[in-house]
């Protein structure tokens, strides 16, 4: 049983660590992108669906050509984003993109990050932690009912006075 708990804990730690790393990278790039330089890009494809979206564009920096596919960091599709899409992207051939001057392969159409997006991901990670805690309690059976003594209480009663 101890090996199963350890294995489950390692799997949950790996999943949480991966989520935390990806979230940190997205939020960090989102905040940095506000100060990135901009350039004109040729829009190849743009669609914003209910649950899925697809963007494809290319731009040149010096003699190098770069491709991009990101509308914004930590994207959540809401009415504000739809309005931005209609005004700045839909039916356009040339758009403005922001790019990381140190690594132009990191680029985005709409720089910055909305605080609502960060809150959404924070709630998502918090929900995952609650799920992991509940799952651990379920698997290990360490739930305690009212009036039931903890193992440490039992051990103390057994000690001579």
Interval 60-96: pLDDT, tens? 999 999 999 988 876 666 777 788 888 888 888 999 9
For the chain, strand residue ranges (E) read 38-48, 53-61, 64-68, 94-100, 103-108
Residue 80's pLDDT is 78
Residues of the chain short of pLDDT 50, as ranges, are 153-155
Residue 75's pLDDT is 64
Query: What is the token pair recorded at 58?
Result: 């290319």
Residue 119's pLDDT is 67
Residue 67's pLDDT is 95
Residue 29's pLDDT is 84
Closest CA to 40 of 77, 103, 102, 88: 88
pTM score of the predicted model? 0.60
Residue 38's pLDDT is 96
Query: What is the token pair recorded at 114?
Result: 């909305």
B/e letters for 28-50, b = 16+ CB within 10 Å, e = fewer, are ebbebbeebeeeebebeebebee
């Amino acid at each position: 049983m101890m090996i199963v708990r350890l294995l489950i804990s390692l799997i949950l730690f790996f999943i949480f660590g991966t989520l935390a790393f990806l979230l940190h990278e997205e939020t960090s790039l989102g905040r940095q992108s506000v100060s990135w330089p901009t350039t004109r890009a040729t829009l190849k494809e743009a669609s914003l669906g209910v649950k899925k979206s697809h963007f494809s564009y290319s731009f040149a920096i010096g003699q190098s050509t770069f491709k991009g596919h990101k509308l914004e960091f930590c994207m959540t599709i809401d009415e504000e984003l739809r309005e931005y899409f209609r005004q700045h992207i839909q039916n356009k051939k040339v758009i403005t993109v922001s790019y990381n001057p140190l690594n132009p392969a990191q680029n985005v159409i709409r720089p910055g990050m909305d605080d609502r997006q960060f809150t959404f991901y924070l709630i998502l990670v918090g929900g995952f932690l609650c799920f992991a805690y509940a799952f651990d309690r379920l698997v290990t059976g360490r739930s305690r009912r009212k009036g039931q003594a903890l193992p440490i209480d039992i051990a103390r009663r057994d000690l001579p006075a």
